[in-house]
Amino acid sequence: MVKIALKNGKTEVNQRAAHLLLEGGYTSFDRGCTEWGTVSKYDSNFIGDRIGDIVISYQNGRIDTVPLVFGYTLWFYNVWDCDMEPFCSDAQLAESLREALHLYGAYERQKTCFLNIRLADEAVEWICVKSYKSKKSKPVFRCAYLHSGGEEIRSEGEDGRLIYSPQQPFFQTKTIETFGAVPEKTAKLISSLRFALYTFEEDYSKVYQSKAPGRLKFSGDTLAELATDVLYHNSRQMLEKVDGDGFFHTSSKGTYSWIYDGFGAYRAMDSFYDCIYSRDAGRAVMSLLLMGEIQKAKDAVRCINGYMMYYPENNLYISGQKVRGHYSVIPNKPLIYSTVLTSAGWPTQFTREKFGDGYRNLGNLETDGHGLMMMANYLLWKSLDRDTVWLEENYRYIKEAAEFLVWQHDSDLLFTKNGLLYGETEAAMNGYTLYANIPCMLGLRGYSEMARALGDTDAAERWNRCADSIESAVGKQLSENGKWKDYGFYHDPVLTMCFDMFGYDFGQNMPPEWLGYSENGYPKNMYRYLKNSYVGARGVGYDHNMITQSAMLLNRPKDYGQLIGNLIKICYAPRLPDPFICPEGVTVRPREGVYRRQGDLGNLVQQAETIKTLYMCTGLSLHNSDTVVLAPRLPYGWSVEYDNVPIPACYDEGKQVYLNGRISFNRENHSYDVNLVPSSSKIKIRCNMSFQRG
């Protein structure tokens, strides 16, 4: 036995041996993808991907090539454990993976693996571990052993572990003897593994007819029928996330996590079940209101508003100033960021050196979550037909949340920059962004209206002045060359947040230049991340749904048609648990037509945005005028049926107004026939259809 240290490029050998044993088999980018997913083949790894070769050159000129393929001669370490699903519960699938893997120790997740190759009866001149430039992952093999095949090989470490024996059953059946391609039997096993974990374009083309009992039904093609199920099942699951006491769980009970950078295996785990996230809840309450689920929204708002009061109720101070009540990242764990996460390295400017002993008492500045919860409170009041009783009962929460923003805006403590609000969590990351500032400005506008309804004109004027300052700061500091900048997440949030607040009258309720900023930035905003794939991978809510909603509001039918279709593909995974539920992220190979879930299945904010997008398809919004404006944005060829659907925030003498009827695609003249009837004859419907073939 001769041990050889492998070099970059060719490693000279010039020896004859029966076998070549290589130590290694994991990769330099030991992940399934970048966190939250990707649409790039470069930084995604699927079972079956070939990322390199082992090249063996003999002195007689013969060259043998062993393909380095995930599931055959390569495997994952950091994102794999043998107790992961579906391998843990599906014995046949687990056996298929064991049988396909020719890498000793890989299935068992040993730190070091071994690959044995039977050599030709010729002297080896050199060997090379070749990697492909088209892939971020590079195969890692540290050394090799030339051996006879009849001897035992032990590690040189203190344990002297047996790493090869001709008596081991593994090497008797898993020694590489086929060159140039994956053996046919193994290739079939790998295909079965891919089929179990991933979804393919052909899955979306099969004839499908929805049997979901929802009040909104899409039809026209397979994706439209699937959209009915996606809307129904995500809506049902989101309702289940609200407990009787109003606790709004960010994850569903007993759901699954596909691991943010995983390769397709998953775990049964309640990732964030014990948490209310203010950003998630704010967005989800607004989706509940679109659905007409007023009581669930009331319960959730009541619960979260109670958590907001933690700071004044516990008499907390920072630098001598009393901390006003506010929505932290996780309101039911108000100090977790300032204590646990900052201690673990989360960046913050709130240090003992700057703020003294009470430096952790603020909890954090979840600026966007605070604003979104304010919008949710305002829109709930609006959906309650501007109920004065509810407003009086909840005004202490309304006033506390608004005064927190006034304090944040005016105080020298909280890093406000010329009227622009600072944030320290995902939507701002120690900076100033649209995603953090727009909802606070909109929330203050709504709260000013509520204050006036109770006759508190001083508060109404004070909150409006603060909103004016934020609006001015946004226009001056977050725009450049006629476009928006510093989004906060991956896309421009301005139009879709204004739509939340004003419905399809959003353009009349925002500075006119703002619409121009969104229009001017749309092409780059669209293609910078999606790269012609029409898939926003990283956070299905923040990424894919938000750009879809912008395309709908800017009336880009060709774009939103493809985006809505791809949203359904992202959600539909027929061979996986909960096949219609929206994942947190996704990894896609657009050219190959392969889709893979990433992250927390049914993550609340992503789920809420998916529901919102499909409601926008139907034209429904939280309208802002006496005439209900419906602006359906249906993909080409889709129809939609309304079966006693609540029109959000629409009442006639205190009674909820419902919508019945259908918008049908007419294939003869490629137009839409509109037949919609509200339950009250006093309510006028104005339907603005957008249509473009293709």
Residue 283 placed within a domain: no
* Strands 628-630 and 685-687, bridge-based pairing: parallel
Residue 56 placed within a domain: yes
Over pLDDT 70: what percentage of the chain? 99
Nearest alpha-carbon partner for 485 in 524, 543, 447: 524
* Strands 153-154 and 162-164, bridge-based pairing: antiparallel
Residue 133 placed within a domain: yes
643 shares a domain with 517: yes
| Identity of residue 645 | V
Q: What's residue 693's pLDDT?
A: 43
Q: Which residue has the tokens 């912008």?
A: 550
- Asked whether 535 and 570 are in contact (CB, 8 A), the reply is yes
Confidence grade of residue 694 (pLDDT, cut at 50, 70, 90): very low
Domain end among 477, 499, 515: 477
Q: Which two tokens stand for residue 640?
A: 């939609």
Angle between helix 367-383 and helix 294-308 axes, rounded to 10 deg: 140
Domain end among 197, 223, 250: 197
Q: What's residue 688's pLDDT?
A: 79
Cα–Cα dist 420/433, whole Å: 9
Q: What's residue 445's pLDDT?
A: 98
Name the 3-class secondary structure at 585: strand
Among the listed ranges 322-326, 508-512, 601-605, which one has the minimum average pLDDT value?
Answer: 508-512
389 shares a domain with 315: yes
Confidence grade of residue 690 (pLDDT, cut at 50, 70, 90): low
174 shares a domain with 301: no
Listed in sequence order, the residues at least 6 apart from 564 whose beta carbon sits closer than 8 Å to its beta carbon are 227, 548, 613, 614, 617, 633, 635
309 shares a domain with 224: no
43 shares a domain with 126: yes
522 shares a domain with 502: yes
Cis status of the peptide bond prior to 86, with omega within 30 of 0: yes
183 shares a domain with 49: yes
Residue 344's Cβ-count burial label (10 Å; 0-12, 13-18, 19+) is exposed
Chain centroid offset of residue 649 CA: 29
What average pLDDT does the segment 455-464 reach?
98
456 shares a domain with 376: yes
346 shares a domain with 240: no
Residue 634 placed within a domain: yes
Residue 280 placed within a domain: no
| Identity of residue 114 | F
140 shares a domain with 129: yes
214 shares a domain with 129: no
- Asked whether 462 and 406 are in contact (CB, 8 A), the reply is yes
Residue 282 placed within a domain: no
User: What is the domain extent for residue 226?
Assistant: 200-275+483-694
- Asked whether 69 and 178 are in contact (CB, 8 A), the reply is no
Residue 102 to residues 51, 579, 605, 642: CA-CA distances in angstroms?
16, 32, 41, 55
Listed in sequence order, the residues at least 6 apart from 655 whose beta carbon sits closer than 8 Å to its beta carbon are 680
Instruction: List pLDDT tens digits, range 110-140.
Output: 999 999 999 999 999 999 999 999 999 999 9
Residue 285 placed within a domain: no
11 shares a domain with 51: yes
Cα–Cα dist 622/535, whole Å: 27
Instruction: List pLDDT tens digits, range 6-53.
Output: 988 999 999 999 999 999 999 999 999 999 899 999 999 999 999 999
Question: How many domains are there within the chain?
Answer: 3
DSSP string, 123-166: EEEEEEEEE-TT-S--EEEEEEEEE-SSS-EE-SSTT--EEE-T
Q: What's residue 62's pLDDT?
A: 97
Round to the nearest angstrom and report the end-to-end CA distance of the chain. 66
The yes-or-no verdict on residue 241 having pLDDT over 50 is yes
Name the 3-class secondary structure at 216: strand
Residue 190 placed within a domain: yes
Q: What's residue 494's pLDDT?
A: 97
Domain end among 477, 502, 530: 477
Q: Please state, rounded to an integer, the average pLDDT across all residues of the chain.
A: 95
Residue 45 to residues 51, 79, 134, 258: CA-CA distances in angstroms?
9, 11, 12, 14
